[in-house]
């Protein structure tokens, strides 16, 4: 027996099952990341000394990674809102979102390498431990979102209109959350 509203929105809720499912997943994800940021705040307020991020960590590389993530997110949302256009343009936008995501990963890898060389390993102090932990969590999000963008771009020719729109919507939501995470991370370590 097929499951209703898998590809077409339910009239009274205006959502497909996947869109609601992704929204709920992101709510759980927000709680997960919220717990990590709360831990950051808890540890920082309890610490006697807390280093200044700008002086210890590779701000420029992290800033460039954030910019690449923002571009990837913008392309993913553009692919979603413009999905009524041609399949080719949708494929290009979703594909470029994955590409910008890959660039963000490269820049993050460089930043982590530089942090390891200049500041030390996670075990050196709690400041570095939480920096590496949050960076790792953001990285996992970028990897997931980039992979989903790439898969959607590759499969877009074979997907029906509704299914494609539903998938692009879910990927767009994931990218938006990833950007929010990356930006919060950047602000926490460099601007606060």
Partner 1 sequence: MRAETQKPGGVRRFLRGYFLGTDHRAVGLAYFVTGFAMFFTGLGIMMLMRWQAAYPGNPFPLLGRLFGPDHPWMPGGMLLPNFYNQLGAMHGTTMVFLAVVPILVGGFGNYLVPLMVGAPNLAFPRLGRLGFWCYLVGIGVIYASFFSHGGPANSGWTSYPPLSVLEDGGQIYWLVGIIFVYVSSLLLAINLIVTVVQLRKPGMGFMELPFFVWTQLVTAFLLLLAFPPLAAAGLLQLSDRLVGTSFFLPGGLVVAGQTLDVSGGGSALLWQHLFWFLAHPEVYVLILPALGMVGTIIPANTGRPLYGYRGMVLSALFMGGMSFLVWAHHMFLTGMGATMNRFFETTTIIISVPSVVIGGSLVLSLWGGAIRFTPPMLYALAFLPMFGIGGLTGMPLAMPSTNIPLHDTMYVIGHFHYIVVLGTLFAVFGGMAHWFPRVSGRLLNGKLTVLHFGLSLLCLNAVFFPLLLQGLAGVSRRLYDGGASYAIGREVFFLNKAVTHSVIAFAVVQVLFLLNVLWSLRWGKPAGGNPWEADTLEWTEDRAP
Q: Which of 8, 29, 155, 159 binds partner 1 (CB under 8 A)?
A: 29
Continuous H helices in the chain: 17-46, 53-56, 59-81, 87-118, 126-155, 161-186
What are the Cα distances from residue 27, in Å, to 1, 20, 31? 29, 10, 6
In this structure, are residues 178 and 139 in contact, taking their beta carbons and an 8 Å threshold?
A: no
CB atoms within 10 A of CB 173: 19
Interaction between residue 4 and partner 1 (CB under 8 A):
yes
* Cβ nearer to partner 1, comparing 44 with 87: 44
* Cβ nearer to partner 1, comparing 16 with 152: 16
* Cβ nearer to partner 1, comparing 15 with 151: 15
Smallest gap from Cβ 133 to partner 1, in A, equals 6
Cα 178 to Cα 149: distance, rounded to the nearest angstrom:
13
Q: Which of 27, 52, 154, 157 binds partner 1 (CB under 8 A)?
A: 27
Residues 113-132 that bind partner 1 (CB under 8 A): 121-127, 129-130
* Cβ nearer to partner 1, comparing 50 with 86: 50
């Amino acid at each position: 027996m097929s499951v209703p509203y898998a590809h077409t929105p339910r009239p009274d809720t205006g959502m497909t099952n996947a869109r609601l499912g992704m929204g709920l997943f992101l709510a759980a994800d927000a709680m997960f990341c919220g717990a990590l940021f709360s831990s950051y705040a808890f540890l920082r307020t309890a610490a006697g000394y807390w280093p200044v991020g700008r002086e210890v960590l590779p701000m420029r590389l992290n800033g460039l990674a954030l910019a690449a993530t923002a571009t990837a997110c913008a392309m993913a949302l553009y692919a979603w809102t413009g999905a009524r256009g041609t399949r080719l343009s949708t494929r290009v936008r979703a594909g470029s979102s994955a590409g910008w995501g890959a660039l963000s990963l490269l820049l993050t890898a460089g930043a982590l390498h530089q942090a390891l060389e200049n500041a030390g390993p996670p075990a050196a102090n709690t400041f570095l431990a939480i920096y590496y932990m949050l960076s790792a969590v953001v990285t996992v999000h970028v990897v997931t979102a980039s992979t989903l963008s790439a898969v959607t771009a590759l499969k877009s020719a074979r997907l029906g209109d509704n299914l494609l729109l539903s998938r692009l919507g879910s990927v767009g939501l994931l990218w938006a959350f990833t950007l929010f995470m990356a930006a919060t991370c950047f602000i926490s370590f460099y601007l606060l």
